[in-house]
Structure 1
Amino acid sequence: MTQVAPAVAGGPPSGAGTAPPLRRRRRLDREAIAGYLFITPWVIGFLVFTAGAMAWSLYISLTRYNLATGTATPVGLANYRELFEDPRVATALGNTLFYAVLAVPLEIAFALFLAVLLDRVGKGAGIFRTIFYLPKMTPAVATAAIFFLLLNGSNGAVNRFLRALGLPAPQWLVDPDWIKPSIVLMSLWAVSGTMVIFLAALKSVPRELYEVATLDGAGPWRLFRHITVPMISGAIFFNTIVLTIAAFQIFDQAYLLFWRDQGSTAPDASLFYAIYLFQQAFRQFNFGFAAAMAWLLFVIVMLVTFVQMRFGNRFVYYEADR
């Protein structure tokens, strides 16, 4: 009689334990394929409209591009050398840097102030949130028209209010020293997007921390400084980076107030980098030079963001670091 060898003690029967892992692996493969199919439209859009456009603009920056004929004559780094020889590039970049340094801290402070106010509102908080967010929904053209009237040096509402208090009333839209501050005031009109992010961060701060600190005798300022700011430091850091990148690309406010009607007669104090880039590309059709300007701005923004990430990240409180 033929004897069957006994199974190894504790070992699975022949063929057991292989089918379930195989089915699980096949299911995971199907899920991966489905995931790739879902993100395919985004990948195609990114490759064509973002990565492809960036690569094309980099090529254009090394040429003299003729829009009428669609021909591009290679010129090497000539466009980049012109960037450092054109004094208006330095003027536009200086104005943009000045605006960014002035606008970003004020926008952060004002948005945080509004968020703290909304966080303290009890009944009717939804109504106030809607009211505070409405300026964000206002078209840029309407906002520019409103501020053109508000900041009028002769009979604007802002100057009339200042004169009523006995304070000097500057020529906001005429005096070169006040043109950039006037644009900063206009940018504060639409900080509600930043305010919403701060409000969400404030809602996530544990209330027990405030209760314990209050029992220890901490006042409102100490609560804000030692609890609120550290706990929402991640949101502050994020908003700082986003607002800095947006500040380097400022266009709408200055263009609508000064360059839409005045054109070449607009004051140099209102010439920002994106406006000069727009003029080079779509007024003078100097696409190679404009592409070089765009890449210079890209490098500057990357460097500024790197510095912010390198040095600002150490001041951010992370829950996992406790």
Structure 2
Amino acid sequence: MDFIDLKSQYAALRENINARIQRVLDHGQYIMGPEVQELETKLAAFTGSKHCITVSSGTEALLISLMALGLKPGEEVITTPFTFAATAEMIVLAGGKPVFVDIDPATCNIDASLIESKITPKTRAIMPVSLYGQVADMAEINAIAARHGLPVIEDAAQSFGASYQGGKSCNLSTLGCTSFFPSKPLGCYGDGGAIFTNDDALAKACREIRVHGQSQRYTHTRVGVGGRMDTLQCAVVLGKLDRFEWELAQRRRLGARYGELLAAVPGVRLLAERADRDCVWAQYTVFVQNRAAVQEALKQQGIPTAVHYPKPLHHQVAYAEHCCPDCCPNSVQAGDQVMSLPMSPDLTEAQVDRVVAALAQAVGN
């Protein structure tokens, strides 16, 4: 059993993907070819955003967004420590300081009720992460941001396709950033990402920054980066789009099956799913005690697992200076207990049942 089954997905989409790649090979425009604009138009329509700017990775999407906002050295960006390093990494590389706010232990997303107390005169933005495929409490976060005149950047690397109060992830705040890393809900075959916004000025800034700050060829109006998404990777995503709605429905269905079966298993705690949103289960994650032993027991039965993430960022050497070690206890506890199970659209119900039976046995021993 694969943790994420990309081989079956490719087998189902082989004709579409191969034709898309061949088209790029035939026209030879490997950088900023026509597939780039086509993908941006289709993704903007999918989210309901006015603008989509494809970039070289989800990480670069965060950096370019912060640069577009004009983050200055020493300014603060409020975020969560329970996330992949890229979230805080880009704040630091842009010259800012990450200010960590603990998570809601039920969802593992940032606890919106704790954000306002961390706002200072140096705060420049709020960057919630929509972890595991479920959108953070964006209404509450946007309300706090509005009271203080702050922009919000949704780190939606794991939640593209998810819905929240009638809207789509990536179109819920000032800027939305996602990743097309192969394991994401919508992935390419390398690195890729996108920025979404309804602000014309920010969109213009992002488009210029991704091509070394150029407003036109060899006219550098701002400091930028080499942040373009390759035409070939855009072609791969275009080849997957026709099946994407089906895949999202499968993720929701399989997530619901996992949840229904695991609810009866003592020793396994499930993530809470809020009623006003759905989850696209980029990772199907549960909480268990004695995780290492449970993982080993599952491994012996041929069932792969992963941990997203074992150590929160404020306990990482690179970011420890930005936070006291005891300020985010829920993040630390989650890091000790979370475990992700196999999840992909082509997972079968029989495979889900097998995983659940094995997990029940592992936590019962």
| TM class by smaller structure | under 0.3
Which one has the bigger helix percentage? 1
Larger Rg: 1
TM, length-normalised to structure 2 = 0.24
Q: How high is the TM-score relative to the length of structure 1?
A: 0.26
Whose relative contact order is higher, 1 or 2, with alpha carbons under 8 Å and at least 6 apart? 1
* Structure showing the higher strand proportion among its residues: 2
